[in-house]
């Protein structure tokens, strides 16, 4: 217990200061406010657990129960905000009212806690009251709702937000798991010696939330964390000056302290400069993405109108067209089609970067989709004297996908394979491995180097074969394909043994 007497106050202090600095960073943000309040209440709850071991009185036992019920309530609020999940005002009033009800009755004798015989650090021995079970059902319900909200948010978002939530999920599960086992499950079997571990278990959540903050800028408090670190180390070095055993060591420690202050100042200034630079880059990038989105929307309408009129002219709606003029109009039509595809690709890129690309999921037959693509591309393959084969297993289950977007991906892969293959051909195959459906597009084309494979799925990136055989490409098709596949909880990759040895593109999608 001696170690816990040190760890528990440290956990309380860490909770308090992290919440304090997050709140001060930007009190106008609901996420920062709720997180700050939650950390403050966590610090109070941990403090009451610590005082139980110091004073060993019934008051601190009741206080630990009271603040313990408010902790998951406030945690739920900031997690709902983090995952951008809304609840109605009525639902919030019910949840909050129940929390306040259990908070106040925790201080009333014999309702939640009854007949306490012994109090120790983090727990007590005795009997529980008639409302103890409803008390814990309320807490466990909130904990389940917290986990559900986080998992829903993880499945909803992509990119940095998804990574932020993943770190919080790990911390929450470790925290909730520890508290539930040592404070609820084990005491039901009369095992209470591990109860003191519930308070320091909050360090799990703090640790993984700190990772989300430092690695993915969850609350934008990198500078504050750096200042705290520099300040704490500076205080420790300053203390070392006064406790040094001799004058020589006082001088040495003083020199170290001065040097640390100089380098600490430079570090903080550097962090400020880096954050300003990153924010400027993000602002410019977002402005660029929004400009592309608006421009693409504006371009698509007139291009569609041009396509409609050209189609009607070629069909003879406005009179017979000579063969010479018809050939020119067909070339214009094809050029307009390429431009429409390019505009749509730019529009998809902008939606991805703005987080606005949505899927229209339905149960679909992937065999029908691939067959329609192969049939559409047969003419292009024959024009280059290439074979185009499709191999499928006997049974392929229907899967939940955005039918049109997956078709675009397969079409893009097959189209690229034909464009960049000069001899031989292209084979499309469906296979099922480990409850995952794989679409494989293999060609006998130019192949890829290791460096090209690493950059192929980046935006505006093209291999040397693409620049050689198809100069009109923009290098965004595979980038869009990768993002769409990831939204389907799948993955896409390429394999190639090197130049002149062909390529194999894999699209893997979950069956269930």
What pLDDT is attached to residue 192?
67
Q: 216 with 163: CB under 8 angstroms?
A: yes
What pLDDT is attached to residue 505?
92
What pLDDT is attached to residue 427?
92
The answer to which of 69-73, 291-295, 395-399, 494-498 has the lowest mean pLDDT is 291-295
The residue that leads in pLDDT, 323 or 505, is 505
The four Cα atoms 463, 464, 469, 474 give a dihedral, to 10 degrees, of 40
Give yes or no for residue 468 having a pLDDT over 60: no
C-alpha span between 245 and 23 (Å, rounded): 41
- Kindly indicate the confidence band of residue 226, based on its pLDDT and cuts at 50, 70 and 90: low
What pLDDT is attached to residue 443?
92
The answer to which of 93-102, 143-152, 163-172 has the lowest mean pLDDT is 163-172
The four Cα atoms 45, 173, 485, 366 give a dihedral, to 10 degrees, of -130
Q: In 3-state terms, what secondary structure has residue 448? A: coil
What pLDDT is attached to residue 102?
92
What pLDDT is attached to residue 440?
92
Give yes or no for residue 127 having a pLDDT over 80: no
Average pLDDT over residues 268-284: 71
What pLDDT is attached to residue 99?
92
Give yes or no for residue 274 having a pLDDT over 60: yes
Give yes or no for residue 134 having a pLDDT over 70: yes
- Kindly indicate the confidence band of residue 221, based on its pLDDT and cuts at 50, 70 and 90: low
Domain 361-510 part of CATH 3.30.565.10: yes
Q: 355 with 156: CB under 8 angstroms?
A: no
What tokens were used for 76?
A: 């739920």
- Kindly indicate the confidence band of residue 453, based on its pLDDT and cuts at 50, 70 and 90: confident
C-alpha span between 134 and 120 (Å, rounded): 24
Phi-psi category of residue 492: left, alpha or beta, with phi > 0 → left and psi -120 to 50 → alpha:
beta
The residue that leads in pLDDT, 165 or 125, is 165
Give yes or no for residue 100 having a pLDDT over 90: yes
Q: 403 with 426: CB under 8 angstroms?
A: no
The residue that leads in pLDDT, 160 or 11, is 11
For the stretch 190-194, contacts whose Cβ atoms lie closer than 8 Å and that sit 24 or more positions apart, written own/partner, are 192/123, 192/124, 192/125
C-alpha span between 46 and 59 (Å, rounded): 15
C-alpha span between 302 and 304 (Å, rounded): 5
- Strand segments, DSSP code E, in 241-364 are 361-364
C-alpha span between 127 and 154 (Å, rounded): 40
The four Cα atoms 135, 141, 147, 152 give a dihedral, to 10 degrees, of -150
Give yes or no for residue 474 having a pLDDT over 60: no
Residues 6 or more apart whose Cβ sits within 8 Å of residue 294: none
C-alpha distances (whole Å) from 362 to each of 15, 221, 370, 431 are 45, 41, 16, 21
What pLDDT is attached to residue 2?
59
The residue that leads in pLDDT, 431 or 477, is 431
> Is 2-220's fold the same as 361-510's?
no
C-alpha span between 114 and 97 (Å, rounded): 23
Percent of the chain with pLDDT over 70: 82
From 179, 228, 227, 185, select the one nearest 203 (Cα to Cα).
179
What tokens were used for 71?
A: 């902790």
Average pLDDT over residues 412-425: 89
C-alpha distances (whole Å) from 212 to each of 77, 215, 217, 466 are 18, 5, 6, 39
What tokens were used for 112?
A: 């939640």
Q: What angle do CA 441, 444, 446 make, to 5 degrees?
A: 105
Average pLDDT over residues 38-57: 85
From 354, 341, 350, 356, select the one nearest 293 (Cα to Cα).
350
Query: For the domain 2-220, what is the CATH code?
Result: 1.20.1070.10
C-alpha distances (whole Å) from 221 to each of 26, 40, 218, 460 are 9, 17, 8, 33
What pLDDT is attached to residue 125?
66
C-alpha distances (whole Å) from 394 to each of 319, 322, 367, 430, 432 are 51, 50, 10, 10, 11
Give yes or no for residue 469 having a pLDDT over 70: no
What tokens were used for 216?
A: 């993915």
Q: What is the mean pLDDT of the chain?
A: 80
What pLDDT is attached to residue 471?
46
Which residue ranges make up each domain of the chain?
Answer: 2-220, 236-287, 295-353, 361-510
Q: 234 with 260: CB under 8 angstroms?
A: yes
The residue that leads in pLDDT, 107 or 54, is 107
Give yes or no for residue 190 having a pLDDT over 70: no
What tokens were used for 72?
A: 């998951």
Pairing state between β 387-391 and 425-433 = parallel
Q: 45 with 64: CB under 8 angstroms?
A: yes
Give yes or no for residue 348 having a pLDDT over 50: yes
What pLDDT is attached to residue 217?
64
């Amino acid at each position: 217990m001696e170690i816990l007497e040190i760890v528990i106050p440290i956990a309380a202090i860490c909770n308090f200061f992290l919440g304090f600095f997050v709140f001060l960073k930007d009190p106008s943000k609901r996420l920062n406010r709720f997180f700050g309040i939650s950390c403050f209440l966590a610090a109070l709850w941990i403090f009451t657990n610590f005082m139980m071991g110091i004073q060993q009185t019934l008051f601190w036992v009741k206080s630990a129960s009271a603040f313990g019920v408010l902790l998951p309530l406030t945690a739920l609020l900031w997690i709902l905000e983090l995952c951008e999940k809304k609840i109605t005002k009525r639902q919030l009033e019910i949840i909050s009212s129940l929390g306040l009800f259990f908070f106040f009755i925790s201080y009333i004798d014999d309702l939640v806690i009854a007949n306490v015989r012994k109090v120790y650090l983090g727990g007590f021995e005795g009997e529980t009251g008639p409302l103890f079970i409803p008390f814990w059902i309320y807490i466990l319900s909130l904990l389940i709702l917290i986990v559900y909200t986080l998992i829903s948010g993880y499945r909803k978002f992509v990119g940095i937000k998804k990574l932020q939530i993943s770190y919080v999920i790990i911390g929450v599960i470790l925290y909730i798991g520890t508290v539930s086992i040592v404070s609820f499950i084990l005491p039901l079997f009369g095992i209470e010696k591990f109860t003191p571990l519930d308070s320091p278990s909050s360090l799990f959540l703090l640790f993984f939330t700190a990772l989300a903050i430092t690695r993915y800028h969850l609350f934008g408090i990198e500078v504050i964390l750096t200042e705290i670190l520099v300040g704490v180390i500076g205080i420790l070095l300053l203390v070392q000056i006064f406790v040094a055993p001799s004058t020589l060591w006082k001088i040495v420690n003083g020199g170290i302290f001065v040097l640390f202050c100089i380098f600490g100042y430079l570090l903080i200034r550097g962090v400020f400069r880096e954050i300003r630079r990153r924010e400027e880059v993000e602002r410019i990038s977002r402005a660029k993405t929004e400009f592309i989105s608006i421009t693409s929307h504006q371009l698509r309408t007139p291009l569609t109108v041009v396509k409609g009129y050209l189609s009607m002219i070629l069909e003879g709606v406005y009179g017979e067209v000579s063969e010479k003029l018809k050939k020119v109009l067909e070339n214009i039509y094809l050029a307009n089609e390429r431009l429409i595809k390019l505009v749509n690709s730019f529009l998809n890129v902008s939606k991805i970067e703005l987080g606005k690309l949505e899927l229209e999921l339905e149960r679909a037959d992937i065999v029908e989709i691939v067959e329609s693509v192969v049939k559409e591309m047969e003419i292009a393959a024959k024009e280059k004297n290439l074979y185009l084969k499709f191999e499928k297993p006997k049974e392929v289950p229907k899967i939940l996908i955005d039918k049109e977007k997956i078709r675009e991906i397969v079409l893009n892969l097959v189209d690229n394979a034909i464009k960049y293959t000069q001899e031989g051909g292209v084979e499309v195959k469906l296979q099922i491995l480990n409850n995952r459906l794989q679409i494989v597009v293999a060609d006998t084309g130019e192949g890829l180097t290791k460096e090209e494979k690493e950059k192929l799925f980046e935006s505006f990136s093209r291999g040397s074969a693409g620049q050689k055989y198809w100069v009109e490409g923009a290098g965004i098709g595979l980038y869009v394909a990768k993002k769409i596949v990831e939204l389907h909880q799948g993955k896409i990759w390429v394999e190639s043994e090197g130049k002149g040895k062909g390529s194999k593109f894999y699209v893997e999608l979950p069956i269930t």
